[in-house]
Structure 1
């Protein structure tokens, strides 16, 4: 398992993944896209002609899925109407941006040579320009928030996670959470120079 480093000449962030690691990242990004696209949080709201033209038909209530609620927290918890209006005008674009970022992770891996069915012994060399690296960093954050929410990870509970037996599925998912965090940390260093 290697993290990202900065390429001396190009300044790009580079790493090499095994086919298994690259496929795991592709799977996490795909699951994130699916989650972002599947839950409908919109309700019919009376609108005027200008709003119809600009399509402000975004979600107005907090998502039911706890991961989506964590990714899109309520902006004004003390004012339900203001929160609904804010969400209506912003959440659709935020969802689209997060989904596009996850799609960039997938596209980058596939452009680097990740086949539809990973092969043993295959290595994938990834090179990220600064803009793509920032997109990956945001996607890593989204992936880690999703995993942390599903597992119930809280600050300061490392001892619990490290005490789980290796064959516990939660321990295995926590290892993925840690790995994505490691990738994120090394990518930050590679981008920062």
Structure 2
């Protein structure tokens, strides 16, 4: 798989995608949507005003991928607390921050994934096959968010915590069952990198 984003005049970006690439990205985005789950309105048909002021969860998700997508705001790698008291304080601050921000963060991630799916569906229906996807600057921002989330999700499944951890993935034999996921991870990284470059002033 190849393909990289290029700048469009006046902002935005374009990328040539074939049928297989469209299918892979779309499938991953759908899986991401399923993992994130529906919003409160989709799930229970609540009053929109009540939904606006609804509080989110205070505990981190149990799924390791969701923990990666919705990390604690305080503490974490490199920030180990010096004492039990400090650890408890970090936990309380993280719980409070999560309660008031996670619903909005989930909604944004859903919208990013949906934007990817819609643009790919539009490209496929317009051409009947692959083609050149053209994105506005706003759509490019949505794609950037979704590509980042997809890479975080795959990295979590591959036990990649830092970019340096991915070095050994290049050496996997072709018959390793993780190989397709590794190829997708690396390919999405290339797409993400070129998209960032196109959006730089």
Q: What is the TM-score normalised by the length of structure 1?
A: 0.82
Q: CA RMSD in A?
A: 2.4
Report if the CA contact (8 A) 1:61-1:84 is conserved. Answer: yes
Deviation at 1:157, TM superposition (A): 3.3
Q: Is 1:69 the equivalent of 2:67?
A: yes
Aligned length: 177
Contact 2:28 2:150 in 1 (8 A): yes
After TM superposition, give the deviation of residue 97 of structure 1 in Å: 0.6
Q: Who is 1:30 aligned against? A: 30
For 2:59 and 2:117, locate their aligned partners in 1 and report how far apart those are by CA, in whole Å.
30
Task: Judge conservation of contact 1:15–1:127 (CA < 8 Å) in 2.
Answer: yes
Q: Deviations over 1:135-167 (max 9, x none)?
A: 111111111010001111243234421221112
User: 1:143 aligned to 2:150?
Assistant: yes
Q: TM-score under structure 2 normalisation? A: 0.79
- Out of 154, 157, 160, the residue aligned to residue 153 of structure 1 is 160
State the match for 1:133 in structure 2.
140
Counterpart-to-counterpart distance in 2, 1:107 and 1:53: 25
Structure in which a larger fraction of residues adopt helix = 2
- Write out aligned runs for 1:1-193 (5 A): 1-7=2-8, 9-37=9-37, 54-77=52-75, 78=87, 79=89, 80-114=91-125, 122-155=129-162, 156-192=164-200
Any gaps of 5 or more consecutive residues in structure 1?
41-50
Determine the structure 2 residue equivalent to 1:45: none
Whole-Å separation in 2 of the counterparts to 1:127 and 1:84: 40
Task: Write out per-residue CA displacement over residues 69-106 of structure 1, whole angstroms, 9 at most, x where no aligned residue.
Answer: 11111123432333222211110110011011000000
User: Is the 8 Å Cα contact of residues 109 and 124 (structure 1) preserved in structure 2?
Assistant: no
**Compared with structure 1, are the counterparts of its residues 158 and 64 closer, same or farther at alpha carbon in structure 2 (3 Å cutoff)?**
closer
Asked if the contact 1:22–1:124 (Cα under 8 Å) also holds between the matched residues in 2, the reply is: no
